[in-house]
Structure 1
């Protein structure tokens, strides 16, 4: 005979599964567009979630000789230290943008209209977020600049910095190339489950945009616990629970992930304006919803496959 406690657990399990499948449903139009653009995306999407599939693909990585510290880089870090940390932990946190750079990106993001919740129909300036929610009659969790990011010289300077390329080639192999550059806001709001799902917030997940990837993230404004910090699980890029490999779901509850990797493996990435880190996005990670202040984030991503023209700015397909 089942107890009340077991009934509650069963109901929670059903709710989680329902939520997970809704997350997949939201992304189906994007998956279909990915396959149409590049049929090779489908075997990657199916096999790259498994460690045997990924490890086989890592054997194709071509050797890259790290460059000496480049005087032309805006960063004080060196690629050897960053690459070693990435291999061990899946993350390196020793990056800092110069003040003029992160201030210029912030100014650009404040003065340039963004697109809310990935929809080009929801256009507004970040400072008008509250009014935009009233105008459009819905909550707006995120505001992406998409291709407008590259209208900012400071964004382009970060994107082409030689340290980023050197770390990417040292870690992923000499064939690593730039595949995405994004700048976006996350706003404090009562976000719907669908909007949180599309923005990959509040659920540990791993990325499957390519066989091998590396992503650099920069907090353009200062980030604390109330600003929706990014969270990463150290070591989860190189070992993976079997049930997390043999499922189409990439998102999993925090307790499910941390029970396996250990609560001490969780790293919350707070920091001053301009602070940055680089991670292997096959490791479990998530963004969190801001509760007090908006967060402005910049991402520069590298991969080893032909870049998607449609996904260059991280734009999904919406129904």
Structure 2
């Protein structure tokens, strides 16, 4: 699939990340022709709203109803069809995900359709940098590599839990804070926090369908030592891959709770999708498949396969 992506008013460092993201789209059979925008029709226009050329290109592309990826927006804007936005410091992986969703919308999974703080965690799975995640006046520090979430107050953490699925969250790369002086004194296990939050909204999470999942690591369940259901689910998923429906039926646990457990462990990076393995059918030597010569010999001597005192 050949696509044309044009950029306007983008600084050189950001353009390098966009260029790398375009090359990585080759993994999805997407070949990108990227160049500076000259007003032509293209598949995606990428603009930096903090530059005059970027703002002009945005206005023109909007009037032509072209898909636009915007950088440099200070506050989260209302979602608009065909319009995506990222922070200027967004990592390359986030740019790849945004472009893939714009160019290949049918390939989006349930995870990519989820918004809110949970969506941020899902998109940043595997990120090795600390992230500052904001929604209005609420700000938390997300540390995926360390498996921790930090806040300045307990009320901020409660707000994150209550707004788990609310749109309007956006993340930026965080400068290395002085953890003693920066005020991030409230800290929780990211695994435990997401498990509790996802259970709170278990009825609103879409069922993860048609795929099998397996734990790559044991989740941190230290904050819920008496939660036997989570321990059972973790043990089963750690041993082998399961679909959500099969796991719920096997464990005899409500599917909404099993689904919430899988959402939480996906978002914290402990759970992954397992590609289906198709095993070649091994030929079974059954009596019905015995060569015709043996069958004729057996009948000649009055014997039958698998019956009576004489067996062949």
Shorter-chain-normalised TM-score: which range?
under 0.3
Pair member with larger Rg: 2
Query: Structure with the greater relative contact order (CA < 8 A, sep ≥ 6): 1 or 2?
Result: 1
| TM-score, length basis structure 1 | 0.22
